[in-house]
A and B are shown apart, each in its own frame.
Chain A
Amino acid sequence: MSSETQDLNAVRARRRLPRINPIWFVLAALIVAIIVYNPNFVQPVGYMNFLKRAAPLAILAAGQIYVIVSGGFDLSVGSTITLTVIGSSMLLNNNPDATWWVILLMYAMGLAIGLTNGLVVSILKVPSLIATLGMMITLSGLALMWSGGAPRGYLPESFRYFGRANITDLPLINILPISLIVLAVVVCLLWWLMHRTNYGRLVHAVGDNPRAAVLAGVPLMRVRVSAFVISSLTAVTAGILLGGFAGVSTDVGRGFELQAITAAVLGGAQLLGGRGSVSATIAGALTLTAIFTLLNFVGLPQPVREVVQGLILISAVAYAMYRRRHAVH
């Protein structure tokens, strides 16, 4: 894009009213529908439970958006979640004293997974879809080997604190889940990194046009690898929250990789890179969770529920695409 057209766009953008990402309207509509079906949702316990449930996916999606914006996919996050939960339960074995070093160890594992993903993509030039698919299969195999196919240990309350506990007796909001605090901290950090630092601009540049980025002196490999590392670390965080919320199971992370990508797309991210925002991705994750919750409340039979879920997803993304096509010309 030449600097001239860029200037022109900037002028046009300033003239128009501030544009709000359409995903927020979709989310608002879903929330209204949930309230219609369950008036208790406006009570703190209602929406706090909802946010608590959405937190792992929101965090995961906020990490995934880094990889997507840089022009890749990370399919290994679901297995990373599973491995985090299984690994923690095996290492902790109901011993609360070990909580801190196990959490540290899990983050170290996440770091290693992200580095491997990033290096395989950057150095071996394996497309990220395949590289992380391979990682996904490898990790779920490792989790299976480690556990022998069934969970072997329990997670002590000290570990489950982050995903399960609430601060109660607060004025106004009454309860505050710890996982919501974790969500807020992670999201602020990731939002700042993506939208307020030079690093965030580099991630966008790499995804938009890697060749141009290299010619402009962007350290391609470092940017890509770090995006994968961020994604893996958020997967470990999501794993800690999910294990805390619901305990140990051998398929806890199943399907999360696609949910995270869906959340990013709902938030308007461009699948081949160069475009995406952390806050809209969070809205996408909340929307996805709201769809699941709404369908629970409506009480449709399961097969119908899946049809409705699929239709809502396609329409939401189609609408986002339509808006984008007609937005800047």
Chain B
Amino acid sequence: MKRLIACAAALAMLAAPGAWAQNFDDPEEFAKQREQLAMTPMGPEGMPWEQYLEDTMADTAQHAKEGPYTVCFSNAGVNNPWRVVGWNNMQAEVELHPEIAELVHVDAEGSDDKQIADISDLLAGGNCDILIVSPNTTAALTPAVERACEQLPVIVFDRGVNTDCPVTFIHPVGGYGFGIQGAEFVAENVEAGANVLMLRILPGVDVLETRYSAGRRIFEEAGINIAGAEFTDGDNAKTKSIVEDYIARGQIDAVWMDAGATAVAAIEAFEDSGLEVPVFVGEDQQDFLQKWQELGLTAIAPTYPTYQWRTPIIAAVRILEGEEVPGPEWVLPQPAITADNLDQYINEGMPPLHYAMCGCEEMPGYPERWGGR
């Protein structure tokens, strides 16, 4: 039976050669992000959404104009809880700026084609003073962003594009950084030779692939055995089933995840099997943080902070007022939640998948706007 399945596997692999052309395991980028994690950010203390790690500024004098401003935003989608929190952040940020008369939001619903059409509609409308783009995918949106750059100042955030024409590209440290924070924590808390289970959402997404390759690199360096790397599709039931199956096969000393939405389901698999929950890497979702506190886990929550959704609005206003902004890349700090500061991020009134690193606690409409009470 084993041989039969192995044969089928070999055949299938022959049939799909070279599926992975893109490089998600770049040692230079890995080293750069590892360095950035250790940097002390510049900018106002306690407001990480205005801070920056790289000290190069973009001159914006040519874009200065009189207010009030119309800010246009082409959004890749509001199709997952991370983006829901981020989009709420952005709308709240707009309310803090009386200079902004209107935020025009078009939602591409996760489609490259729609986003390309959205951008050309916004340009044709001619009402935008500045365009913010959160690209659905990097390569597909590059030409559309280049065309927009010819007409007005552009800000890109979250995922990037393959052009340096935008005034600035706003993003936190990145996927390698996320992978590094979690994996280093695991390496510090288990012995060499321990078994780690790596849970991933899905293959082929750049920000997730880099998290994984960084995690893998660190585990290999530390001599930690990767018991398996599984795709969960971000599905709670599937996650729990996979973890149960691994538990049935042998000892798991740590769980590393590339995103934390299904972390609680994975923890429950240990609980329901009557086992101690091992060293755990989640993310900053409320349900995970609360579970962590309740069970007193040895855990860490790297973040891909949703406060980055505030920054494009801040940047837009500064650019239109002719003030300089960090550019061509505005690299935001990317903190992790640890046992030391866990308490300050827990709020039981917030929904389970609220991302605690939202920087939104002082914003108008908190907590109701974010679904809290």
Q: Do A and B come from one complex?
A: yes
Count of CB-CB pairs between chains A and B under 8 Å = 114
Contact assessment for B79 and A149 in the assembled complex, using a CB-CB cutoff below 8 Å: yes
| Proximity string of chain A (36-49) to chain B, C-beta cutoff 8 Å, 1 when within and 0 when not | 11101100011001
Q: Is A247 an interface residue (CB 8 A)?
A: yes
Closest A residue to B1 by beta carbon equals A33
| Proximity string of chain A (51-70) to chain B, C-beta cutoff 8 Å, 1 when within and 0 when not | 00100100000000000000
Closest A residue to B354 by beta carbon equals A150
B14 to chain A, nearest CB (A): 11
Which of the segments A191-199, A219-227, A290-298, A318-326 contacts the partner chain? A290-298
Closest A residue to B355 by beta carbon equals A150
Q: Is B16 an interface residue (CB 8 A)?
A: yes
Contact assessment for A149 and B12 in the assembled complex, using a CB-CB cutoff below 8 Å: no
Contact assessment for B239 and A246 in the assembled complex, using a CB-CB cutoff below 8 Å: yes
Contact assessment for A252 and B235 in the assembled complex, using a CB-CB cutoff below 8 Å: yes
List, in ascending order, chain A residues with CB within 8 A of B13's CB. Answer: 301, 304
Contact assessment for A303 and B12 in the assembled complex, using a CB-CB cutoff below 8 Å: yes
Q: Is B287 an interface residue (CB 8 A)?
A: yes
- In whole angstroms, how far apart are the Cα atoms of A314 and B8 in the complex? 15
List, in ascending order, chain A residues with CB within 8 A of B366's CB. Answer: none
Contact assessment for A304 and B237 in the assembled complex, using a CB-CB cutoff below 8 Å: no
Which of the segments B211-219, B243-251, B313-321, B322-330 contacts the partner chain? B243-251
List, in ascending order, chain B residues with CB within 8 A of A299's CB. Answer: 228
Contact assessment for B237 and A242 in the assembled complex, using a CB-CB cutoff below 8 Å: yes
Chain A interface residue count, Cβ-Cβ cutoff 8 angstroms: 45
Contact assessment for A247 and B268 in the assembled complex, using a CB-CB cutoff below 8 Å: yes
Closest B residue to A311 by beta carbon equals B8
- B16, B85, B236: the one contacting A246 at CB < 8 Å is B236
Which of the segments A151-159, A267-275, A276-284 contacts the partner chain? A151-159
Contact assessment for A248 and B79 in the assembled complex, using a CB-CB cutoff below 8 Å: no
- In whole angstroms, how far apart are the Cα atoms of A40 and B231 in the complex? 23
A255 to chain B, nearest CB (A): 9
List, in ascending order, chain B residues with CB within 8 A of A3's CB. Answer: none
Q: With A33-B1, A38-B249, A308-B8 in contact, do A251 and B235 touch (Cβ < 8 Å)?
A: yes
- In whole angstroms, how far apart are the Cα atoms of A245 and B268 in the complex? 9
Contact assessment for B248 and A40 in the assembled complex, using a CB-CB cutoff below 8 Å: yes
List, in ascending order, chain A residues with CB within 8 A of B92's CB. Answer: none
What 5 pairs across the A-B complex have the smallest Cβ distances?
A246-B236, A150-B81, A246-B237, A307-B12, A149-B84
Q: Can you list 19 A-B contacts with CB-CB less than 8 angstroms, sorted by A residue number? A: A149-B80, A151-B81, A151-B353, A153-B351, A246-B235, A246-B239, A247-B264, A247-B287, A249-B234, A252-B236, A252-B237, A254-B235, A296-B241, A296-B245, A300-B5, A304-B8, A304-B9, A308-B9, A311-B8
Extra contacts besides A45-B248, A248-B236 (14): CB < 8 Å: A33-B1, A38-B248, A41-B248, A49-B244, A148-B84, A149-B78, A150-B81, A151-B81, A246-B240, A250-B81, A252-B235, A292-B241, A304-B8, A307-B12
- Give residues in B with beta carbon < 8 Å to A: 1-2, 5, 8-9, 12-13, 15-16, 19, 78-81, 83-85, 203, 228, 230-231, 234-237, 239-242, 244-245, 248-249, 261-262, 264-265, 268, 272-273, 287, 351-354, 371
